[in-house]
A and B are shown apart, each in its own frame.
Chain A
Amino acid sequence: MIKAMYVHIPFCNNICSYCDFPKIYYQEDLIDKYLDTLNYELEKVYKKEMIDTIYIGGGTPSSLSLNQTIKLFEILKKVNKSKNIEFTIEANFDSITEKKLDLYKKYGINRISFGLETTCNKHLNFLNRTLSKKKVKQVIDYTKKQGIKNINIDLMYGMPKEKVDELEKDLDFILSLDITHISTYSLIIEEHTKLFINNIENIDEDLDYKMYEVIRKKLKENKFYQYEISNFSKKGYESRHNLTYWNNEEYYGIGLGASSYINNKRITNTRSINKYLEKKFIYTEEKLTIDDKCIYEMILGLRKIKGIKKEEFFKKYNCHIEEKFDIMNLKDKKLLEENNGYICIPQDKLYIQNEILLSFVGGSSNGKRK
């Protein structure tokens, strides 16, 4: 039973130097066509299930004009929403307005995820972003006034030459906003981005790790608890939508470059706007065997701090997690641990979790496709 839906809005008024998500410069006439196509795709794939979480991501969804925003929400009216729905939209502080926030409220948005990334001008320039702290405060105040209390802020760290005290200042500022959720990860230099083309190098991994620990410590002191490798929240404010991913559950993904997991298939949509408008949606499709699903369960489930519930694993795959993977060996090496029926990555190994996840992929011993 599918309970989650991701909707991608690729338009941006400004392209950040590190971004490798499907994105397009804002073009008035293109947006109408895009939304019509989105509508078509939704009608085609959506099987009228009751949906529990919707996440409108981008790009920059808040770059849409008021009318375009209304059009988007009208399209999404087709979706059967559960009473308790978590309905998130991404926004940035440059393009958001009180009127847009009013519309969000009107159409049932109850969670907003703001991209802030950094407050330091030097690093903002590097990321090709702008930010006014004053506006941030105003927007957050207004959002809360509107009754939207569940607010996430994205923080980025690990920009070249960033200092630990600059990161701490960012954290202090974000904490002063009194929000419910913080997502954070260090700068990744992806291929096909401006940064990659300019040969920007990653910061030293010791410093990167140190910054991660600074964040963990400071957020913990401020009653944000970490529930996933890069996500922190106040009690009860975990992103239910993102947990769908980490719990290896199925979800719809519609829009340019969106990913979905439907009927045992992992599908990625095309990143080409022309193809998308021609309604040639699908780019890749991976049909999963039970073994594949088990691998995904490990890769995704171990992102959660709590880890994977053994009982749940057995229920889902009808075999014990220890039969499928060499958990014992990893436990002996202190690369995994078991707490109250959950298998998880030890706190001090969180930041090297890929190294541990490698034991589950691409070899013959892990029961991958035969």
Chain B
Amino acid sequence: MQEFIRNFCIIAHIDHGKSTLADRILEKTNALDKRQMKDQLLDSMDIERERGITIKLNTVELTYNYKGQDYFLNLIDTPGHVDFSYEVSRSLAASEGALLVVDASQGIEAQTLANLYLALDNNLTIIPVINKIDLPNADVEKVTEELINLGFDKEDIVLTSAKTGQGVEKLLEKIIKIIPSPKGDSKKPLKALIFDSIFDPYKGIITSIRVVDGEIRNKDIILMMQTNAFYEVLSLSINTPKEKEVDVLKTGQVGYLYASIKSIEDVKVGDTITHKDNKCDKALLGYKPMKPTVYSGIYPIESNKFEDLRESLEKLKLNDAALTFEPETSTALGFGFRCGFLGLLHMEIIQERLEREFGIEIIATSPSVIYKVELTNGTTTLVDSPNKMPDKVKIKKTLEPYVKISIFSPKEYIGPIMELCQNKRGSFLNMDYLDEKRVTINYEMPLAEIVYDFFDKLKSYTKGYASFDYEVTDYKESSLVKMDILLNGEIVDALSLIVHKDFAYNRGKAIVAKLKEIIPRQLFEVPIQASIGSKIIARADIKAMRKNVLAKCYGGDVSRKKKLLEKQKAGKKKMKMLGSVEVPSEAFLSILKADEK
């Protein structure tokens, strides 16, 4: 059987048609009939379908008959966004081949390249695919040239339209012909890689595994090599894409394992599974854990939901090892968690999943990067929250993480992009023309500036045409200060942030203006101030409320007035009381969107 297995994944930029292509492959292999098809079948989370992106990887085993022989194709879906390259590397490790999908009208994008290099590092066989050839503005010739420039042979390139299904059969043929079958030794003791795990509300913890050597059967007693936990296998299954129980997973196969695992702690993605009584010689390399680059405080709006929030975060962490969290306390918001994320999108997704999947209303504070602070006593401390910033007199110097950012854009936006990067403390590195129309612009800039509102700005400066990618390079000394926000004269710790000294004044002004817009009028006038130390650098006043009355007499319909008051009251309960000021929960993140003029 092993020689007829093909494990492959798809790498592509967001929106280049990865999930649609996966859908078509499912259709061509008759995994589902038309009636069962719904778009983006592999994207099982609502957020994925709504945003049209893939966050979590998902596998499916397909059977395809080629020249009289059944082949087992394991398709492992991968996320396309920069924040999820961790997930990508996980699916790459479970595959022998990868489809590199490029949009015929867009060409190769930053993230595609990054993932391509990851795939090459993993010694995968790559099949270049030009997709969306049905589009009127498809430029197959140009994209072909780009691929040739990357070192591919013209004859290896497959042209497809995931929309119409054109070229998909040819692609399946290529997969069978080019991608090698899994190596592994079926005679050796079991060695399987855990490359994902999810929490199922009915079954508990389910892990995705790839059998590297040997085989795994129902009722086997297995051992997790890293955590030393052992369990009895209760069931094994594959996704076809309907779940199908199987008795055994053999060398090279990919499937799901369920073993009534009690402790979330016992399952580590990247760990190796073997038999308790017949161990393999050594564990697989696993993954290098990704380090969070962005931190933010997450608090339940209702303070009694703290434990629920903890449980939900634990469940999310189960298949999102990159998420970190530890309890923190805020004077303004009470008990919550300091959470670490791979990037902004990762942060947004986690926040959204907490609200949607776990039904917990949360307040998220504005994200912070990790600063290094050298103290006068010679030690260095890491600061991931503005409120952990040491006292000014104790600081010798402050350093912040810098990134190399590559922006891909049509050339007409070079001017605005440069202007944006300058405003974001960027220093220009270089610029390359990809072809006569498109450029890559490279800048070095502080990560904190990207976290701030770079993405939204870039999109608006370039009408959505530019995309970007970044990698953290190193720490550089920077003149950083902690800025506090005061409401009615009192510091709100959850609104504090670390800013560059030279930009503090403008940012303070913008934040104060934004808060004035978001916080509704109160019974009394409320000053909003931004301060550095004891120095006030910006101020705006929320005017006192002037009108909240139902003056009209509705012919004795007074129930209506009571209902209106009850509605207003319900609205108030969603606000957070900070001292004597009622603040809507969105105020905490809004300071990110404050526009500097």
Contacts and interface: CB of A to CB of B under 8 A. Distances in A.
A358 B572 contact: yes
A352 B570 CA distance: 18
B203 interface: no
B547 A57 contact: no
B566 A362 contact: yes
B549 interface: yes
Interface string A177-205: 00000011110100000000000000001
A212 B547 CA distance: 10
A233 interface: no
A30 B315 CA distance: 65
Contacts of A251: 556
B559 interface: yes
Contact of A205 (B545, B551, B556, B572): B545
A361 B557 contact: no
Interface in B526-574: 543, 545-559, 561-562, 564-566, 568-570, 572
Interface in B436-461: none
A259 interface: yes
A295 interface: yes
Contacts of A268: 557, 559
A335 interface: yes
- Give the residue among A229, A260, A296, A352 with the most B Cβ atoms within 10 A: A352
A266 to B, nearest CB: 5
Nearest to A239: B553
Contacts of B569: 358, 361-363
Contacts of A46: none
A6 interface: yes
Nearest to B556: A259
B565 A205 contact: no
B523 interface: yes
A131 to B, nearest CB: 20
Given A230-B553, A358-B569, A363-B569, A352 B548 contact: yes
Contacts of B562: 295-296, 299, 361
Nearest to B544: A352
A352 B523 contact: yes
A81 B553 CA distance: 24
B570 A362 contact: yes
Given A352-B523, A355-B523, A362-B569, A208 B556 contact: no
Nearest to B566: A362
Interface in B343-377: none
Interface in A146-187: 183-186
A361 B551 contact: no
Interface residues of A, number: 46
A296 B553 contact: no
Interface in B223-276: none
A292 to B, nearest CB: 9
A230 B551 contact: yes
A350 B553 CA distance: 15
Contact of B545 (A261, A295, A352): A352
A286 interface: yes
Given A206-B543, A351-B549, A361 B565 contact: yes
B555 A354 contact: no
Contacts, number: 102
A58 to B, nearest CB: 9
Given A352-B546, A357-B565, A6 B555 contact: yes
B559 A205 contact: no
A17 interface: no
A8 interface: yes
A21, A206, A251, A357: most-surrounded residue (chain B CB, <10 A): A357
Interface in B53-73: none
A51 to B, nearest CB: 14
Majority SS at the chain A contact face: mixed
Contacts of A300: 558
B551 to A, nearest CB: 4
Given A353-B549, A355-B548, A57 B570 contact: no
A284 interface: yes
A227 to B, nearest CB: 13
A126 interface: no
Interface residues of B, number: 27
A26 interface: no
A242 to B, nearest CB: 6
Contacts of A299: 558, 561-562, 565
B556 A354 contact: no
Contacts of A350: 549
B568 A358 contact: yes
Contact of B548 (A230, A253, A353, A361): A353
A355 B571 CA distance: 12
A209 interface: yes
Contact of A335 (B523, B547, B561, B566): B523
A91 interface: no
B566 A6 contact: no
A294 interface: no
A357 B566 CA distance: 10
Contacts of A296: 558, 562
Given A295-B562, A299-B561, A185 B552 contact: yes
A299 B564 CA distance: 11
Nearest to A190: B552
Contacts of B550: 188, 354
Contacts of B565: 299, 354, 357-358, 361-362
Nearest to B552: A185
Contacts of A208: 546-547
Contact of A21 (B551, B555, B558): B555
A309 B349 CA distance: 56
A342 interface: no
A258 B556 contact: yes
B319 to A, nearest CB: 40
A245 interface: yes
A229 B546 contact: no
Interface in A88-138: none
B326 to A, nearest CB: 34
B559 A355 contact: no
Contacts of B523: 335, 352, 355
Nearest to B580: A333
Given A335-B523, A354-B565, A363-B569, A259 B558 contact: yes
Nearest to B557: A259
Contacts of B547: 186, 205, 208-209, 212, 351-352
B416 to A, nearest CB: 33
A362 B572 CA distance: 11
Interface string A339-362: 000000000001111110110011
A132 B572 CA distance: 45
B156 to A, nearest CB: 57
Nearest to A285: B559
Contact of A361 (B545, B554, B558, B566): B566
Contacts of A257: 557
Contacts of A361: 562, 565-566, 569
A118 B177 CA distance: 84
Given A242-B553, A261-B558, A299-B561, 9 more contacts: A6-B555, A230-B553, A259-B555, A259-B558, A266-B559, A351-B548, A352-B545, A354-B564, A355-B548
Give the top 9 A-B pairs by smallest Cβ distance, nearest first: A185-B551, A209-B546, A362-B569, A259-B557, A230-B551, A354-B548, A205-B547, A205-B546, A362-B566
Interface of B: 521, 523, 543, 545-559, 561-562, 564-566, 568-570, 572
26 contacts: A8-B555, A183-B553, A184-B551, A186-B547, A205-B545, A206-B546, A208-B546, A230-B553, A245-B553, A245-B558, A251-B556, A253-B556, A258-B556, A259-B554, A261-B556, A261-B558, A284-B559, A286-B559, A299-B561, A335-B523, A352-B548, A354-B548, A354-B564, A354-B565, A355-B523, A358-B572
